[in-house]
Amino acid sequence: MCQLHENGFSMSILMAIFTFVNVWCITLFATLPMGIARGTHETALEYESAPKKIYWRRIAIINTLVALVVTLIIAIIIKTGIIPVKNS
C-alpha cells in the first residue's frame, strides 16, 4: 500500500481512503456529544439525560473536518519518515 519514492514512503490513494474512513469512525465518538442539545423535559415520563435534539449535520461536518486533519497529519508523518513504515 505504501510506495517507495526517492525521499521515503508515500501513501497511496487506497491507503489514504482507508485511513480516512478509519479515522472518521474513531473520531465520531469524540465529536458525537458536540451535536446534542439538552433541555428541560415537560413530562415526568421523559428521561432527563435524553437529548432534546440531535444535530446530525453539524456532527457530520465537524467529524469530517477533524478526520481530514488527522488523516493529513498521519500522511505527513509517513511522508517525512518520522515513524518508519515498512513496505511489506
Residue 87 lies in a domain: no
pLDDT (tens digit per residue) in 10-33: 678 898 899 999 999 999 998 888
pLDDT digits (tens, 9 = 90+) for 24-75: 999 999 888 877 777 776 766 667 667 778 888 989 999 999 999 999 999 8
3-class SS at 5?
strand
What does DSSP assign to residue 46? S
Does residue 86 fall inside a structural domain? no
Read off the pLDDT band of 87 (50, 70, 90).
low
Q: Are 27 and 63 contacting, i.e. CB atoms less than 8 angstroms apart?
A: yes
* Range(s) of the domain holding residue 50: 7-80
C-alpha cell at 31: 465529536
Q: Which three cell numbers stand for residue 61?
A: 461536518
Query: Does residue 1 belong to any structural domain of this protein?
Result: no
pTM value is 0.72
Residue 85 within any structural domain of the chain? no
